[in-house]
C-alpha cells in the first residue's frame, strides 16, 4: 500500500497534464510515462541515465518506422488481395512517406510536447514525422504490437488511407469537382472554419456550395482533409451527372 502511495506522490502536476494529453492522443491510459517522455526528448538536451545511456527519441523513431511499415503492410495485404508485390510496396511508400508522416505529426500537434534546447522555430518539417514515429515506438514498448497496430489504424489508416485513391482511381475528389464545375459552368465554393468543439486536437469543418447551395460537409484535422472529405461526399451525390 505504501509502495502505491509513493508512486502516486512521485507523479508531478506536470506529469498528470502530460498523462492526460498522451491518453487523448493514443486512446488509452499509458502503463508508464517513461517511454512517452523519451519519445519527446530531443538529442540537444543531452540527457543521460545514471548508467550513462543516452536518452532521446532517436531509437524509438527507428523502432516506430519499422512498426509503421509492418502494420501498413499487413493492412494492405488483407485489404487488397489482388495487389501485386510492386503495387503494395508503392502504396505503402505513399502512406509512410516522410511528407505524410510530417503532416500527421503536425495534425497531432506533437511539437507541443518536445523537450529541447533548440527553439521550435528552428526545427524543419521532419521533426513532426520523427516524433510521430517515436510515439509509435513508445506505444509498442508500453502495450505491445496489438495496441500499436490499433493506434496506427486510429491515427493513420482510418483518417488518411483511401484504397481507391491509392489504387489510382481518383487522386483528388476536389480536383474532379472543380474540373467538372468549370466544364458545366457551375460555381463551387468551400467555406472552411475552425471547429474544435470539445476535442483536444484542432479540427476544421467545411461546407461545400455549388451555385450557393450546400451540397456536402466535411470535418477533419486539417483544412485540406476537410475539403477532400466534403468533395468526396459531393462527388458521390453527383456521380451520375459527372460521369456523363
Residues 186, 209: contact at Cβ < 8 Å?
no
Cα–Cα distance for residue pair 216/177, rounded to 1 Å: 12
Q: Give the burial class of 203: count Cβ atoms within 10 A of its Cβ; 0-12 exposed, 13-18 middle, 19 or more buried.
A: middle
Nearest in space to 35 (alpha carbons), one of 141, 176, 192: 141
Strand partners, 54: 48
Beta sheet of 213-220, edge-to-edge order: 188-194, 204-210, 213-220
Torsion angle (degrees, nearest 10) of CA 180, 186, 192, 195? -90
Q: Which helix (H) or strand (E) holds 172?
A: none
Cα–Cα distance for residue pair 66/176, rounded to 1 Å: 35
Question: Would you name the residues annotated as active-site residues?
Answer: 65, 133
- Three-state DSSP class for residue 76: helix
Residues 101, 92: contact at Cβ < 8 Å?
no
Rg of the chain over all Cα atoms, to the nearest angstrom: 21
Residues 41, 125: contact at Cβ < 8 Å?
no
Amino acid at each position: 500500500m505504501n509502495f502505491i502511495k509513493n508512486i502516486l506522490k512521485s507523479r508531478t502536476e506536470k506529469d498528470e497534464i502530460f498523462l492526460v494529453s498522451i491518453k487523448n492522443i493514443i486512446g488509452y491510459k499509458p502503463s508508464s510515462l517513461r517511454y512517452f517522455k523519451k519519445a519527446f526528448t530531443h538529442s540537444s538536451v543531452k540527457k543521460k541515465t545514471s548508467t550513462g545511456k543516452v536518452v532521446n527519441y532517436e531509437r524509438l523513431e527507428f523502432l516506430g518506422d519499422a512498426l509503421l511499415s509492418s502494420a501498413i503492410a499487413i493492412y494492405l495485404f488483407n485489404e487488397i488481395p489482388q495487389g501485386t508485390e510492386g503495387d503494395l510496396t508503392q502504396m505503402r511508400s505513399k502512406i509512410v512517406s516522410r511528407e505524410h508522416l510530417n503532416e500527421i505529426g503536425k495534425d497531432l500537434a506533437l511539437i507541443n510536447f518536445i523537450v529541447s534546447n533548440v527553439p521550435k522555430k528552428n526545427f524543419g518539417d521532419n521533426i513532426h514525422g520523427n516524433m510521430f514515429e517515436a510515439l509509435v515506438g513508445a506505444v509498442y514498448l508500453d502495450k505491445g504490437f496489438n495496441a500499436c497496430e490499433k493506434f496506427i489504424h486510429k491515427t493513420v489508416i482510418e483518417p488518411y488511407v483511401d484504397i481507391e485513391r491509392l489504387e489510382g482511381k481518383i487522386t483528388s475528389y476536389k480536383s474532379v469537382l472543380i474540373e467538372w464545375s468549370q466544364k458545366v459552368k457551375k460555381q463551387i465554393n468551400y467555406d472552411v472554419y475552425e471547429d474544435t468543439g470539445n476535442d483536444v486536437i484542432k479540427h476544421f469543418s467545411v461546407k461545400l456550395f455549388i451555385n450557393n447551395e450546400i451540397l456536402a460537409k466535411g470535418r477533419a484535422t486539417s483544412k485540406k482533409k476537410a475539403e477532400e472529405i466534403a468533395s468526396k461526399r459531393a462527388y458521390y451525390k453527383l456521380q451520375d451527372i459527372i460521369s456523363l
